[in-house]
Amino acid sequence: MTEIDEGLFNEFWDIYNDATDKGFESRQHSDPDFDFYNELRRNNGVFAAFKTHRFQNDMAAQLLDRDGKLKSFAQWEDDTQDIRDHHVKHWLETEYNTAVKRAHISADWRQFEREKDILPNLEWVKTTAITPGKDHVPFWGMIRPVGDPVWNEHRPGDRWGCKCGLRSTDKPVTQVPEEANSPVYKPAPGLDNNPGKDAMLYSFSHPYFALGYMTYKKLSPIVKKFVQKQIEERKKLKEFKRDKVAGKRLLIHERADISELEDNKRAGRTLVENFPKMKIRVREHIRNEDGIKNPEYEINGLLADAKRVESSKGITAGFVTAKGQGCSIVIIDFDKHLLDKEVNRIDVARRIGWRSGDFESGTIKECYIVHNGKAFRITKKNYDNRAWIVEQLKKSGM
| Mean pLDDT, all residues of the chain | 89
pLDDT > 70 fraction of the chain, expressed in percent and rounded: 95
What's the CA gap between 226 and 194, in Å, rounded? 25
Which residue type occupies 283? R
| pLDDT of amino acid 246 | 92
Structural contact between residues 100 and 188, judged by C-beta atoms closer than 8 angstroms: no
247: left (phi over 0), alpha (psi -120 to 50) or beta: left
Residues 226-252 pLDDT 10s: 888 888 877 777 889 999 999 989 999
Q: Which CATH architecture has domain 240-395?
A: 3-Layer(aba) Sandwich (3.40)
Which residue did the predictor score with more confidence, 348 or 29? 348
CA-angle at 155, arms to 106 and 208, nearest 5°: 75
Higher per-residue pLDDT: 78 or 168: 168
Residue 220 has pLDDT above 80, yes or no: no
**What pLDDT score was predicted for residue 289?**
65
The tens digit of pLDDT for each residue in 104-123 reads 999 999 999 999 999 999 99
Contact in structure between 12 and 44 (CB atoms under 8 Å): no
Average pLDDT (199-205) is 91
Helix-helix angle 345-353:386-395, to 10 degrees:
140
User: How does pLDDT run across 53-103, given as a tens digit for each residue?
Assistant: 888 878 888 888 888 888 887 887 787 888 888 777 788 899 999 999 999
- Of 367, 295, 296, 277, nearest to 330 by C-alpha is 367
- Name the pLDDT band for 1 (thresholds 50, 70, 90): very low
Report the alpha-carbon distance of residue 134 to residue 150 in Å, rounded: 19
Q: How far apart are CA 139 and CA 156, in angstroms?
A: 9
Mean pLDDT is lowest, of 22-31, 67-76, 324-333, 377-386, for 67-76
DSSP per residue, 26-38: ---TTSTTHHHHH
- pLDDT, residue 72, reads 83
- Three-state DSSP state, 221: helix
Those residues with Cβ within 8 angstroms of residue 116's Cβ, 6 or more apart along the chain or in another chain: 145, 146, 147, 168
Cα–Cα distance list, 280 to 7, 94, 177, 268 (Å) = 14, 34, 59, 7
List, for residues 298-320, the tens digit of each pLDDT value: 999 899 999 999 999 999 999 99
Task: Print the SS3 string covering 296-315.
Answer: CEEECCEEEEEECCCCCCHH
pLDDT class of 212 with cuts at 50, 70, 90:
very low
Q: What pLDDT sits at residue 390? A: 93
Given a cut of 90, whether residue 193 has pLDDT beyond it is: yes
* CA distance to 23, 90, 159, 261, 275, per residue, from 132 (Å): 21, 20, 12, 59, 51
Half-sphere CA count of 3, side-chain side, radius 13 A = 5
Domain with CATH 3.40.1350.120 in the chain: 240-395
219: pLDDT strictly greater than 80 = no
Query: pLDDT tens digits for 322-373?
Result: 999 999 999 999 999 998 888 899 999 999 999 999 999 999 999 999 999 9
The answer to whether residues 263 and 333 touch, using CB atoms and an 8 Å cutoff, is yes
- List, in sequence order, every residue forming a beta bridge with 299; answer none if it has no partner: 280, 302
